[in-house]
Each structure stands twice: as C-alpha cells, then as structure tokens.
Amino acid sequence: MDWETHLLVVPILLPLIAGAALLLVDELRHTLKALVSMAATLTLLVVAIALLRMADGHGEDTLSMSYAVANWPAPFAIVLVLDRLSALLLVTTSILALAALAFSFARWDRAGPHFHSLFQFLLMGLGGAFLTGDLFNLFVFFEVTLAASYGLLLHGSGPFRVRSGLHYISINLAASLLFLVGVSLIYGVTGTLNMADLALRIPQVSAGDRMLLQAGAGVLGVAFLVKAGMWPLGFWLPSAYMAAAAPVGAIFVILTKVGVYVLLRLSLLLFGGVSGELAGFGSVALLWGGIATLIFATSGVLASQSMGRLAGYSVMISSGTLLAMIGIGNAAAVSGALFYLVSSTFAAAAFFMLIELVERAREPGADLLAVTMEAYGDEREETEEPEDEEVGIVMPGALAVLGTSFGCIALLLAGLPPLSGFVAKFAMLNGLLADGGLAGDEVAAPVWLLMGLVIVSGLAALVAMMRTGIRTFWAPLEAVVPRVLVIEVAPILTLIGLCFALTVGGGAVIRYTDAASRALHEPASYIQGVLGDDRGSSE
C-alpha cells in the first residue's frame, strides 16, 4: 500500500487526537489550547489539499481510492473512500474551519468550556462522513457531528440560544432515529451496508422485497433531508443558525451540505445506474422538495427583518437549489451545483461572521425600529437642519471595510457578477439547458420553473441585502463605529477573496466539477475502487 493512501485516515484521526488531547489541558490555558487547535486545523487543510491533488492527479480515468481499516477485505472492512467529490468537500470544510476558528480567537473560544475540543470533534465527524464507504459508519460519524454541534450551538449560553438549541437537539434526535430505521430496513433486504456492494446488490433485489427497500431508502432520505433543511423539514434552521455564536454559525453552514452530499452520493450510486422500477428513485421528490424550499426560503428572505434570520434563509436557498439540481440528475447541472455549493458555503459563512461585527454598531432592536419608522414615519424628519451643519461625514475605516464586505456578500448571495455566485448560477442554468436537461414533456415544466426560481431567489436576496445595507450603513439610527479586531476581519476577507479566486480560476474549477459529476453518474469507478476490478466489472 502506497504511503499516500494512509492520508485517508488523517482527516479522522487528527481532529480526534487533537480534541481528546485538548480535553486534558486546563481551561485557563487559552493560548495553548488555541495554538494546538489552530495547528491541527492547519495540518488538516494541508492534508485535504494533498488528498484533492491525489483524487485529481491522474486524469479523468482515476479510480476511487479506498482504505480498508484493519486490512479486512471489502465489503466486510470499514472502508474509507476518496474521490473528487469527497476531496472537494474536505477542502471546503478545512478552509471554513480555519476561518471560523481564527474568528473565534477574538473572544468566542473563551465564552464556554471545551470549545476547541468540540470544534475538533465536529471536524472529525465531518471528515468521516465525507470519506466513509458504508452506511453504518456514516451513521457513526453523523452522530459524532451532531453530538459536537449540540455543544457548539449552546456555546455562550443565553435564553434564545438555549431554546433554539433544545429545538435543534430534539429535531436531530428524531432524524437519527429515522436514520437507524432506514439503515436497518436496507440491511434486512440486501444483507450489506457497504455502499459499493449495495450498488451491485440493489438491481438484484427480488420484486417482493423492492417495496421494503424503497421504504428503507425513503426513511433514510428523510433523515438527511432534515439535516439538509428541505421544506417543511427545515423549519428549525433559521432560528438555530441565527442563535449560534458567529464562528459556530459559520461552520454550521457546511452541516447542511452533509445532507446534500449523502443524498447526491446515494441517489446516483444506488439508484442512478439501475434499471426498472428502482431507476431514479426519489429524484422527483428531491426536485419538487427543492423547488418548495426555494419558494419558502425566498419568501423568508424578503420577510426577514434581522440579518441573522436573513442569513439562515440564505442557507435554505442554497439547500433548495442543490436538492433540486440533484433531482434533475443532469451531469452538467450537478457540476454547476458543486461549484455553487462551494461558493454559497463561503458566502454564507462570511455573512454569519460579518453579522456580529455589524451588530456592534447598532442599537438593540434597530431592525424593528427601522421597520416601524418606515411604516409610521420619523418625527425627526420634520425638524429643520441647521444651515451650518456639515453635509456628509468621513466614513471610518472599520465601517468602510465592513460595508465593502457586506456589498461583496450581497453580490455572492444574489449571484451577480463579477463574483463566483454569478459563475455558479450561470453554470447551473447552462447545465439545465444542456442535452438531457429538457428531455421529456413531463420534465420541461419543472425545469423551467426551477430556472425561474433560481433567478428570482437571487433577486430577492439582492432586495433584502440592499434594504438591510441601507439601514445599517447608509441611514443608521445612531452612527457608532464598532471596535473590530484584525483577527475578526481577516477570516471574512479571506473567504470573500477565495470567492474572487473561484471567479478567476472558474475554468479550472468547472473542469474539476465536471469530472466529479461524470464520475458520480458513472459509478463503476467508485465500485471498482472499493471492491476491485472483478466485482466492479460485473456491474
């Protein structure tokens, strides 16, 4: 076995060891804990980039790389699998984690106990979920992620945070129960939980067991749709993400993408290449569920009167768009969706961190008061200004940076040029119009509806962001210059800068996502990478 193959276990073992070691460090030694956590996260990013190069290093014909824990043969081994999709999400997670962790050093890592340990355990669960090759260990890493997210959501206390956290915990416990039920039904029918082995056995399921298999897959899908935030299962998302501390909300953006990732992986691997009644199972539900989520989240964006809730609904717009693209099943559309996944994740995470800095310059309840003034007027407008009053003021540097960052995030969420949000939406719309995107009369109407909603949701985001920006930066009730640290601004500017880089290097990124999408739609390479040439070729 090549030494590079052992890198597949690093995204799991490194945060596990770092998180466990940090539990042994006294909570008063903040600097030491921060240094250890930052070193582990930086190393994780380096390893993720190395894995990305490995996944894409040998051209389009590269097989998926598998790592059998304890060297048991597949499908009996605990298998970790690396391909372009998992590598892309590992790099995205590592970058996001580094930005959120740096932001937390300003004060949030000291607002409660064991922040760094919980953060590392969350990264362990995410890395395992993206790399695992069987459903049972997917459940294990799913639970590790959720357990760490419970503590992080409650980090910092406060009645609103505790109330939203309890709702979040109860909903996700129910989702975990559904996960177990779905996995049990699938195992009872097929006798295996290895994803590659399932891809070979599902087409051979007898007609009498197909309904039970579909029931298990449907229950499993509902569990991940809860995590992905699909309407009406995602009603908890805006409040929970709004209540979280700024760095926690930023890293939570990637949690919705876990549900999207699993649905994309399983739908194309298990039901994408089969024929008969099981072909494309669940695609219609994903398409219409994504459309319904887009409609609901677009309405929520327009109705939001606080930036935290606006950011939460923006995450739901991203989830709805991605779920609908998976439902379409077009390789070109999925490629654009992968580009959109990265861009929207960086934009939403930067927005969550920016909100805390902007809110420091505003009075409590400023959003509600601004709406009241719009409806009933402001008595101060009737008073005449002194003739010698200077018109206009010099904008402080901090507000200039925050305002510019806010404008860039608005462009990203709306999908306007010149940032990567425009490239991502253009790639998705182009994919919908590509060959196969409008195949069949029964598909044409939903596709056109989806295209319209993608455009309208961007317009709604632009209107909502403009309204919020005017209230915050142009005509605030009280002009207050916030105290902003460099370590807080740097992560936001870094994520926005990466979105600029995605635009400049859009051609290379699209080529990568094209290759990832083709591999997802032709799962033979994944199966061969896990089970070997003999088993994979029998598909």
Instruction: State residue 234's pLDDT score.
Output: 83
Q: What is the mean pLDDT of residues 37-64?
A: 83
Instruction: State residue 61's pLDDT score.
Output: 54
Tell me the C-alpha distance between 125 and 16, whole Å. Answer: 9
For the cut 80, the answer to whether the pLDDT of residue 276 exceeds it is no
Q: Is 371 a member of any domain? A: yes
Instruction: State residue 372's pLDDT score.
Output: 45
Q: Is 503 a member of any domain? A: yes
pLDDT (tens digit per residue) in 205-225: 888 888 888 888 888 889 889
Instruction: State residue 436's pLDDT score.
Output: 47
Tell me the C-alpha distance between 369 and 361, whole Å. Answer: 15
Rg (CA), the chain: 23
Instruction: State residue 537's pLDDT score.
Output: 44
| Confidence band, pLDDT 50/70/90 cuts, at residue 539 | very low
| Confidence band, pLDDT 50/70/90 cuts, at residue 368 | very low
What percentage of residues in the chain have a pLDDT greater than 70? 85
- Measuring CA to CA, which residue among 181, 108, 118, 165 is closest to residue 145? 118
Structure tokens at 364: 């409590």
Q: Which single residue is written with the structure tokens 């860039």?
A: 408
Q: Is 199 a member of any domain? A: yes
pLDDT (tens digit per residue) in 455-495: 999 999 999 998 888 887 776 555 566 677 788 889 999 99
What backbone phi and psi angles, to 5 degrees, belong to 193?
A: -125, 0
Element (H, E) at 333: helix 331-359
| Confidence band, pLDDT 50/70/90 cuts, at residue 387 | very low
Element (H, E) at 456: helix 441-469
Tell me the C-alpha distance between 243 and 169, whole Å. Answer: 13
Q: What is the mean pLDDT of residues 65-71?
A: 78
161 to 41, 169, 364: CA distances (angstroms): 26, 12, 17
More confident residue, 396 or 291: 291
Q: What is the mean pLDDT of residues 221-250?
A: 87
Q: What is the DSSP string of 340-359?
A: HHHHHHHHHHHHHHHHHHHH
Q: Which of 17-21, 289-293, 470-474 has the lowest mean pLDDT?
A: 470-474
Q: Is 383 a member of any domain? A: no
- Number of domains present in the structure of the chain: 1
Q: Is 518 a member of any domain? A: yes
Q: Is 384 a member of any domain? A: no
Q: What is the DSSP string of 193-261?
A: -BHHHHHHHGGG--HHHHHHHHHHHHHHHHHHHHHHT-TTTTTTHHHHHHHS-HHHHHHHHHHHHHHHH
Q: Mean of the per-residue pLDDT values for the chain?
A: 82
Task: Give residue 63's Cα distance to chain centre.
Answer: 26
Q: What is the DSSP string of 130-173?
A: HHB-BHHHHHHHHHHHHHHHHHHHTTT--HHHHHHHHHHHHHHH
Q: Is 272 a member of any domain? A: yes
Q: Is 174 a member of any domain? A: yes
Q: What is residue 266's DSSP assignment?
A: H
Instruction: State residue 68's pLDDT score.
Output: 79
**Cis omega before residue 15 (within 30°)?**
no
SS (H, E, C) 505-521: CHHHHHHHHHHHHHHHH
pLDDT (tens digit per residue) in 137-194: 998 998 999 999 988 888 877 788 888 888 888 888 888 899 899 888 988 888 888 8
pLDDT (tens digit per residue) in 100-132: 999 988 888 787 788 889 999 999 999 999 998
What percentage of residues in the chain have a pLDDT greater than 90? 29
Residues spanned by the domain of 133: 3-375+395-534
pLDDT (tens digit per residue) in 392-451: 444 567 777 888 889 999 999 998 888 888 999 998 888 888 754 444 444 467 888 888
pLDDT (tens digit per residue) in 509-535: 999 998 888 888 888 888 887 777 555
Q: What is the mean pLDDT of residues 247-259?
A: 90
